[in-house]
Chains A and B, each alone.
Chain A
């Protein structure tokens, strides 16, 4: 007996109503010219950014950061400190807005939510990494419960990992089903970010395939990495994902966000990402609604570069908070 699979509206509108049509769609995706994509990403990284644009880019990048701590050693105190920083990245400059979201492990969602509500940050979303992050090696029941916990504790964004083992062995339908199931737990109000963990996907072709798979199955965002393995958000990978969401928008009319995470540590890296977004996907992606950067140390460097732009001399890390 053939298993029944659920296909969301966006997949159906593209004629994908069965495993067969899903496989057909994925195999029809054009291959990627490895040399070409690396050259293009490298070329875009050399673009010079003038001072005025740089100032604008720094503030935009700050508003896009998913301020993250995902350590086994996270304490409640550290989570509260992170929330404070997310709400007021520069405590001496109240004109500077908040970051995009706070990203924590599942069991820390409640403490983060409560603290943010107390300090006037009730509109600052909390993203929770769920579905047995980072490996994703758990039963479906556990993954569903994990997601439910996070949502009931106050998470408004769920970062799920895909089953890379299933993906690499060609069981695309299984990966698809998993995303559909988790999205059904999220509903319309909670944003679902699907982590592809591109460092484990072996080839650029697979990155493209996984991006479309996630888009079709109901992702609101596609995210490069867990940050637990290297390489993470490399420029060619982000470029391919941006192409995927751009083309998916043309196909279906649905705009999906992109979140590079891992390895973006300084302002230069962040601005390179913004250049990619503008050049590949287009300026309608240049907003925290459609582009996020998963990072922790990045914020301090952005703040220091902001001070440099303001004061005219190089800043010191003694004047920003420790992470």
Chain B
């Protein structure tokens, strides 16, 4: 028997760069893979937590949109750096929750880290690929440039728990959007640890907000919230999709439901095109 008292961790929500309990005081339990053994308690976010998170994302947007592409790139790379230091924790959590063998858990973490670096490379290239000078008939310069649409809500898929989360989140914030991510209800630990990475990797407060809880409970509030400009619902089922699409008409949200896991298309899905006409010779 150990003579030391165990130090247990309280898993919290990540809102506005701070770790908070759910205002509702609710929590839920997850078990170890394929067993009934207790693994962790997690905060069960309420719609009021969601409301706070959206407010935080709205404020975070101001800082993140005005950051230069180069700076965004550095910060995304920094996320990968910090994740590398927490590799063991990620691996352990994936094994405990998803029940994967060590080798595939290891591989998943490596892929997730590499994906941040891949998206870090995209931040200053996306506007060059998707924007440009348009040929027009008249005495004007005509430019098109893609811009982030605003606050984007997203649902992380269950598995692969870490890689799936990065595949969802990284393209949203790479362009300058701020994000509100609802973690997988089944495998939430990677999301909690990821939020601890974000808190220590120079991501401005509010740019990324992560809620753990029931995706189905929160989805309608997210879909109808007028402050949300886009949603990634790739990991939701077909039945929820119809409800979400209906609710999202209130402010014509951009809805993403992607076939490809990794693609610059996923960045562009949450960008608007702005076209500027400038007279020549004035």
B contact patch SS: helix
B51 contact set on A, CB distance < 8 A: 314
Q: Which of chain B's residues 79-115 have a Cβ closer than 8 Å to chain A?
A: none
Distance in angstroms from A92 CB to nearest chain B CB is 14
Q: Which of chain A's residues 275-323 have a Cβ closer than 8 Å to chain B?
A: 307, 311-319
Nearest opposing residue in chain B for A311, CB measure: B250
Is A316 a contact partner of B251 (Cβ separation < 8 A)? yes
Q: Is B224 an interface residue (CB 8 A)?
A: yes
Q: Are A313 and B250 also in contact (CB < 8 A) when A318-B226, A319-B226 are?
A: yes
Is B225 a contact partner of A313 (Cβ separation < 8 A)? yes
B196 contact set on A, CB distance < 8 A: none
Tally of chain B residues near chain A (CB < 8 A): 11
Q: Is B227 an interface residue (CB 8 A)?
A: yes
The docked-state distance in angstroms from the alpha carbon of A314 to that of B247 is 12
B227 contact set on A, CB distance < 8 A: 314-318
A313 contact set on B, CB distance < 8 A: 221, 224-226, 247, 250
Interface flags, B232-272, vs A, CB<8A=1, else 0? 00000000000000010011000000000000000000000
Q: Is B54 an interface residue (CB 8 A)?
A: yes
Distance in angstroms from A201 CB to nearest chain B CB is 33
A314 contact set on B, CB distance < 8 A: 51, 54, 221, 224-227
Nearest opposing residue in chain B for A319, CB measure: B226
Is B225 a contact partner of A317 (Cβ separation < 8 A)? no
- State which size class the interface on A falls in: 10 to 19
Interface flags, B40-58, vs A, CB<8A=1, else 0? 0000000000010010001
A316 contact set on B, CB distance < 8 A: 225-227, 251
Nearest opposing residue in chain A for B225, CB measure: A314
Interface flags, B217-232, vs A, CB<8A=1, else 0? 0000100111100000
The docked-state distance in angstroms from the alpha carbon of A307 to that of B224 is 13
B226 contact set on A, CB distance < 8 A: 307, 313-316, 318-319
A315 contact set on B, CB distance < 8 A: 226-227
Nearest opposing residue in chain A for B220, CB measure: A313
Interface flags, B175-214, vs A, CB<8A=1, else 0? 0000000000000000000000000000000000000000
The docked-state distance in angstroms from the alpha carbon of A311 to that of B224 is 10
The docked-state distance in angstroms from the alpha carbon of A307 to that of B251 is 14
The docked-state distance in angstroms from the alpha carbon of A313 to that of B227 is 10
B58 contact set on A, CB distance < 8 A: 317
The docked-state distance in angstroms from the alpha carbon of A189 to that of B238 is 67
The docked-state distance in angstroms from the alpha carbon of A318 to that of B227 is 8
A311 contact set on B, CB distance < 8 A: 250
B251 contact set on A, CB distance < 8 A: 316
B221 contact set on A, CB distance < 8 A: 313-314
Distance in angstroms from A54 CB to nearest chain B CB is 14
Distance in angstroms from B156 CB to nearest chain A CB is 22
The docked-state distance in angstroms from the alpha carbon of A303 to that of B225 is 15
Nearest opposing residue in chain A for B150, CB measure: A318
The docked-state distance in angstroms from the alpha carbon of A317 to that of B51 is 13
The docked-state distance in angstroms from the alpha carbon of A141 to that of B36 is 82
Q: Which of chain A's residues 181-209 have a Cβ closer than 8 Å to chain B?
A: none
B54 contact set on A, CB distance < 8 A: 314
A317 contact set on B, CB distance < 8 A: 58, 227
The docked-state distance in angstroms from the alpha carbon of A312 to that of B47 is 12
Nearest opposing residue in chain B for A315, CB measure: B226
The docked-state distance in angstroms from the alpha carbon of A206 to that of B245 is 58
A319 contact set on B, CB distance < 8 A: 226
A312 contact set on B, CB distance < 8 A: 224
7 A–B contacts from the bound complex (CB under 8 Å): A313-B221, A313-B224, A314-B51, A314-B225, A314-B226, A314-B227, A318-B226
Interface residues of A (CB under 8 A from B): 307, 311-319
Interface residues of B (CB under 8 A from A): 51, 54, 58, 221, 224-227, 247, 250-251
Question: Which 6 pairs of residues, A with B, have the shortest CB-CB distance?
Answer: A313-B224, A316-B226, A316-B227, A314-B225, A315-B226, A314-B51
| Given A314-B227, A317-B227, 16 other A-B residues pairs in contact with their CB atoms under 8 A | A307-B226, A313-B224, A313-B225, A313-B226, A313-B247, A314-B51, A314-B54, A314-B221, A314-B224, A314-B226, A315-B227, A316-B226, A316-B227, A316-B251, A318-B226, A319-B226
